[in-house]
Amino acid sequence: MLTGFFFEGWGKMVSRLYISLLIGIACGVVTLSCASESSLKKDVNPSALRIKEMESSRQVKAMNEKILLSSLSSGRDIYRDYKIGPEDLIEISVFEEEKLNKTVRVSSQGNISFPLLGILRVKGLTANELEKEIRDLLAEKYFKDPHVSVFIKEYRNQRISVIGAVEKPGAYDVTGQKTILDVLGLAGGLKEEAGQLLFLIRPPPLEGKISEEKRDSEDQAPKTFVIDLEELLIRGDLTLNLPLIHGDVINVPVSGKIFVGGEVRSPGGFPLRGKKLTVSQAIALAGGLKTEAAGSETKIFRYPEKDTGKEIIPVNVYSIQKGQAEDVYLKENDIIMVPRSGTKTVGNEVWDFIKGRIGGVSLGAAF
């Protein structure tokens, strides 16, 4: 009986020791697992983040070098496409008749007075176009084959504003034809936190310069040109280096944003800051759809990190709101465009606008 008690006690003690041993091993495995995971996080994530930051910094530095070189090498060709405007001083020479050589200042209405020809409207013409017009008019009545030259002696002041992630944001008074690269150079180049996209916002014509038939059209809305800075500055696509006009606003948003434009109540750029954002949430941030919006024809224009071609993603905002379609998650630099009902403003032609090849897509107010 005593022997049975002894063996029973011994068995219980061994059982307890076995259980304790198992618990100890389990804790050790968990501890090692946690330590391993923690070690991986410490070793991988920060270094990957640092590499990404260094690559971004190097890219911005390369972009700024291109801006500097462009501003230093801006040459005579920059004035070739300059459009004559009020207050410009123009020198006109006619080889066949010295008395017709004249220096005139363009009036506030955009006209000049020229011997034999009277009042000529020159606003909006290039020097070459004005040469041809004067030559053709003189050839009609006065000379067989006149030789005319036009030289712009003084350019009117133009005010261009630069905002966003540039070193010296502000309004710049410039003379002569300037381009995006010229004004970025004046603004000291890009900051390190600059995003990949640049928005050129062009104000509508002044009230007195809009014809009656266009008064109610979209010509009165600001127009926004979307420029891919990597395409312009790294790959050297100079078709994106658009000429600027008086009143233009250049906006370089910081990285980590998405943009909502078109028929929403408060168009603009909205930060991601590491959080997930869906189409419906972005539309809500932009104040919701206007009554005239065609939400079913909404499209997302996406710029991938690698140059694998730009992507267009069609979405139906109404179906998303009803829970009948997936609420798509957005990525950095995504542009949501909501067209007006009854129009086809979001199609291939808008894609051309997004690439900056031609102008005119309106994202609404300046970002």
Strands 223-228 and 148-154, sheet pairing: unpaired
With residues binned 3-state (H G I as helix, E B as strand, rest as coil), the percentages for the chain, rounded to 5, are 40, 25, 35
Please tell me the distance from the alpha carbon of residue 79 to that of residue 60, in angstroms, as a whole number: 28
pLDDT confidence of residue 177: 78
- The reply to whether 141 and 188 lie within a common domain is no
Is residue 285 in a domain?
yes
pTM of the predicted model as reported, rounded to 2 decimal places: 0.55
Amino acid of residue 153: K
The verdict on 70 and 170 lying in the same domain is yes
Q: Of 108, 109, 112, 116, which is closest to residue 127 (Cα–Cα)?
A: 112
Does residue 35 sit within a domain?
A: no
- In angstroms, the CA 156 to CA 132 distance is 23
The pLDDT value given to residue 308? 52
Boundary-marking domain end, from 237, 255, 273: 255
Decide if 312 contacts 361 (C-beta within 8 A).
Answer: no
d(CA 146, CA 47): 71
CATH of the domain at 101: 3.30.1950.10
Per-residue confidence in pLDDT tens, the chain, 367 aa: 444 444 445 455 445 544 454 445 444 433 433 433 333 333 334 454 444 455 556 767 777 777 777 666 554 444 566 788 888 899 999 998 888 999 999 998 999 999 999 999 998 898 899 999 999 999 998 988 899 999 988 887 788 999 999 999 999 988 777 899 999 999 999 988 888 888 898 888 655 454 544 554 555 667 878 888 888 988 888 889 998 888 899 999 888 888 898 899 988 888 876 678 899 999 999 999 999 999 999 999 887 655 555 789 999 999 999 999 999 999 888 899 999 887 544 444 444 444 443 344 445 444 4
**Residues 71 and 189 reside in one and the same domain:** yes
CA distance 206 to 116: 32
pLDDT at 206: 58
Say yes or no: 300 and 262 in one domain. Answer: yes
Regarding whether 282 and 233 lie in a shared domain, the answer is no
Please give the Cα distance from 137 to 210 (Å, whole number): 28
Encoding tokens for residue 345?
A: 């403003």
Domain contains 11: no
Tell me 297's DSSP state: G
Query: What's the maximum distance between 2 C-alpha atoms anywhere in the chain?
Result: 143
What sign for the dihedral angle of Cα 327, 328, 329, 334? negative
pLDDT score of 131: 93
Residue type, 224: T
Contacts of residue 266, Cβ cutoff 8 Å, sequence gap at least 6: 285, 286, 287, 365
Alpha-carbon gap, residue 267 to 359, rounded angstroms = 19
- Residue whose C-alpha is closest to residue 266's, from 282, 251, 255: 282
306: left (phi > 0), else alpha (psi -120 to 50), else beta?
beta
pLDDT score, position 234: 87
Whole-number pLDDT of residue 316: 95
- Count of domains for the chain: 3
Q: What CATH number is attached to the domain comprising 187?
A: 3.10.560.10
What's the distance, CA 73 to chain centroid? 24
Question: By three-state DSSP, how is residue 155 classified?
Answer: coil
| Measured CA angle at 272 (ends 268, 277), to 5 deg | 90
- The residue out of 154, 186, 209 marking a domain boundary is 154
What's the token pair of residue 268?
A: 């603009």
Distance CA 34, CA 32 (A): 5
8 in any annotated domain: no
132 and 204 inside one domain: no
Q: What is the pLDDT of residue 323?
A: 93
Full residue range of the structural domain in which residue 242 is found: 66-76+163-255
Residue 43: per-residue pLDDT? 39
